[in-house]
Structure 1
């Protein structure tokens, strides 16, 4: 196939963006979303990275585009669709616990990459898929173009055509092992399961790996899993071994837990009465 002869360079993410609005003991908002968080973290690690997704023709959409551009992420594949930009509303309890009480993926969930978009993504070395209802097709199309593909399987379903399936199991080790086996049985080449403070495990159908989480004082866990993914795939795309990728994932996740939001940014104040 002619796709296989493409020179691959750089990384990309495709999928969800959102504005995370915090209420309760905090009244602030941050740009986020799995695919956006991973893209920005990859850029901070020094990668050439593009983001593909959709926003609405509104102030939140402009904010997401501007933030990505300020962070150095290529936004040539960020499109505007009719509707509104995705918003997630998070209540912060007195003890600091975060509870998502409203989530609307809106235009994010309507995004389907065109053939031209897929060709552009197909020139990347690795593409990570966040939340996207069309993930099955995207994986198949990218694999046909010779691209390494990873996916957050907590937000997008399906394991076929995946080089790395990322899952999440809290600190439930038996559940983590079950998810890893399920991903491999479903067609993934490698399954990586994050277990919060219990670290992470990985499985390729034969071997098992594990890595500890770094001990830190947690400020906010929002985006920690996305940061783990960014650290892992950054090294994975460079050809590093699985253990090295896991250790780097843990390191990047720990850094994210030490600030509010999925990546370090200046928050905006949420207007009173906007949702809580």
Structure 2
């Protein structure tokens, strides 16, 4: 359940996806409530923040399970309707490399930017966008209008998925545009490979150049959080480059599915409570906490954020 302190809780609105993750492997089939944005929203709530999720959820049995799950973890839902039911992602790991499939709802995902959605964005101290269809021109235009006043409080994670990607070039161009108006953007090595067929450093460079091209209107340099699996994470922020390796914890790695989302949750929580770090020491603290939380998360099946058992969230994150 969410952790609470006597401090005022930041209000964070997360915009993106919510779905059923179906995992198939030699032991059988299991289902989890998931979606990158949902994972981040629940993670932030577990860390003690006041969280709203904007996502498409069907009026069906899976949708009722998603709603109940969010309610259990104290996350408010502003739901967009779905003509195709709730989204589902199938991860088939029965024969070597995992294969991913997405149902029609996931492939046609769309958000409705109605009064409730706009209010959730306007009232938030921080807005996080994760796994958004940046290759959908209409959706991108609606998001652009909705967050027009949110540049100083916008965190962005493209989280592209091959099975939901319609136009790679359009996705990259629009993602770079939104990144240039964000406070912080997260990218992973798998994102760079899928979108650019290039190394992570190349993607980081493109995003930083796009932000620089936005000129002095930004007011501050873009922070890029680059994650590279077992290689850890690096923040590129102005002249700073701060790296944190993975954290060794007892027990085997069970499931890496939620590592990136847990990392983003931890960093977003830190930014919401303390602001964007401005020096190497502050970034080192934030990254160490994020890597510790990611390490604890991957030692459990599913993507639910975990905190190392010997540390309290308030102590770990300096909340």
What TM-score range do you get, normalising by the shorter chain?
Answer: 0.7 to 0.9
- In structure 1, the partner of 2:231 is 198
Q: Does residue 260 of the first structure (1) align with residue 301 of the second (2)? A: yes
CA distance in 2, matches of 1:119, 1:27: 39
- What is the CA distance between 1:84 and its match in structure 2? 1.5
Assess if the C-alpha contact under 8 Å between 2:224 and 2:236 holds in 1.
Answer: yes
Query: Cα RMSD between the aligned structures?
Result: 2.5
- In structure 2, the partner of 1:142 is 147
CA distance in 1, matches of 2:113, 2:72: 24
Residues 182 and 115 (structure 1), Cα distance of their counterparts in 2 relative to 1, 3 Å cut? farther
Instruction: Spell out, residue by residue over 1:8-27, the C-alpha distance to the aligned partner (whole angstroms, 9 max, x if none).
Output: 94112111111011112241
- In structure 2, the partner of 1:47 is 49
CA distance in 2, matches of 1:105, 1:9: 35
CA distance in 2, matches of 1:100, 1:223: 17
Q: More deviation in 103-112 or 198-207?
A: 103-112
- In structure 1, the partner of 2:316 is none
Figure out how many residues of one structure are paired with residues of the other and give that number. 253
Q: Does residue 15 of the first structure (1) align with residue 16 of the second (2)? A: yes
- In structure 1, the partner of 2:156 is 151
- In structure 2, the partner of 1:163 is 183
Higher helix share: 2
Instruction: Spell out, residue by residue over 1:77-117, the C-alpha distance to the aligned partner (whole angstroms, 9 max, x if none).
Output: 1233322211111123477x6x1331237267211322441
TM-score normalised per structure 2: 0.72
TM-score normalised per structure 1: 0.83
Q: Secondary structure at the match of 1:144?
A: coil
- What is the CA distance between 1:146 and its match in structure 2? 6.2
- In structure 2, the partner of 1:212 is 245
- What is the CA distance between 1:38 and its match in structure 2? 0.2
CA distance in 1, matches of 2:294, 2:301: 13
- In structure 2, the partner of 1:119 is 119
CA distance in 2, matches of 1:9, 1:87: 31
Residues 130 and 100 (structure 1), Cα distance of their counterparts in 2 relative to 1, 3 Å cut? farther
Q: Does residue 24 of the first structure (1) align with residue 25 of the second (2)? A: yes
Q: Does residue 221 of the first structure (1) align with residue 241 of the second (2)? A: no
Which structure has the higher relative contact order (CA within 8 Å, separation 6+)? 1
- In structure 2, the partner of 1:271 is none
- What is the CA distance between 1:141 and its match in structure 2? 3.2
Instruction: Spell out, residue by residue over 1:243-268, the C-alpha distance to the aligned partner (whole angstroms, 9 max, x if none).
Output: 22222221111111011111169xxx
Assess if the C-alpha contact under 8 Å between 1:109 and 1:131 holds in 2.
Answer: no
